[in-house]
A = this chain, B = another copy of it.
Amino acid sequence: MASVKDVADAAGVSIATVSHVINGTRYVSPHLTERVRAAMARLQYTPNLLARSLRTQRTHTLGFITADVTNPFYPAVAKGAAAAAAERGYNLILVDSGESPAIEEEATSLLLQKQVDGLMYTSMASESELPAWLHDEGTPFVALNRRPSAGNGLYVGIDNEGGMIAAVSHLAELGHERIAFIAGNPLSSAAQARTAGFSEGLRRNGLPMVSELMCEGDYRLESGRKAAAYLLELRKAPTALVAANDVMAFGAWQQLRQAGVRVPEDVSLVGFDDIAFSSMAPVGLTTVHCPMYEMGHRGAAMLIDAIEGVPIQEPSVELPVELIVRDTTARPREHTGPSE
């Protein structure tokens, strides 16, 4: 309600003086400072940040665009990002694109019109034009989790390949030799890296890669179920199953249970992500922990550095992951004999 002008009038000073006491941007005598403060208090002055932003060309607002907030992977990322932003006086505008690249672009353009200082994308479609466009536009942005194909811009991801290698090695050490894989959405660079990591893990452990054990999935529960159903039909079923994310692992688990096969006695199961539920479940899921909060936090911090012109040491970072062994992995059942 009250503006700098009102305060200036009430305090009997110029609006410049008021502005300067608010921002501490030049010396104002204690005398006047006091008068201004008093007037602000009396009038219950609150700055209009919109007007300030119009002047300063800085909104202290970031766009946070996610493919689907409802995917258990993202809330922790958002929380980390919001925390890092808050620490530095920024806010996040949340957009849920519903996995639609079109909405992603539309939202980006709206956010740009709202003059956000920077943008964060979780799981940007990998063929997206956005990175190139934003680069031209000059707006800083950071891609989380999925590395954009066009190489410029900031990136914070995780060591998907390493995590998957660890998962396979764990299984191999337990004695598993027939290990199936349920892949994620192939358009995602993260999913590709996980698939690559699986193959590499097999190789490092001297295990053959058998193609009938490689299933496609889309990161969703149902695709985990389907893959498991298919795998169970095989003449020679796998003794272990690794999914490219926890959600599909749970889908597979449901199917397994329904078919009467026990986890981990009959088949071992490993996920990837370590979503909250994986440790909440009555039987904990063995999985690869991804530092999602960290990812959001680092991403936002980097982005703000870029906005404020702080030099950035590493514009592209890959956070380490960690295998968490819980209750869904065990040694395979004894072989019945040498012949088959």
Contacts and interface: CB of A to CB of B under 8 A. Distances in A.
Interface of A: 46-51, 53-54, 59, 61, 64, 68-70, 72, 74-76, 78-79, 82-83, 86, 91-96, 109-115, 221, 247, 250-251, 253-254, 256-257, 263, 276-277, 280-283
Contacts of A86: 95
B91 A110 contact: yes
Contact of A115 (B48, B78, B91): B48
A64 B95 CA distance: 12
A220 to B, nearest CB: 10
A82 B112 CA distance: 18
A82 B49 CA distance: 23
Contact of A75 (B47, B75, B91, B251): B75
Most chain B beta-carbon contacts within 10 A, residue among A50, A74, A96: A50
A72 B68 CA distance: 14
A6 to B, nearest CB: 16
Given A61-B114, A79-B70, A221 B91 contact: no
Contact of A50 (B53, B69, B254): B53
Contacts of A276: 70, 72, 277
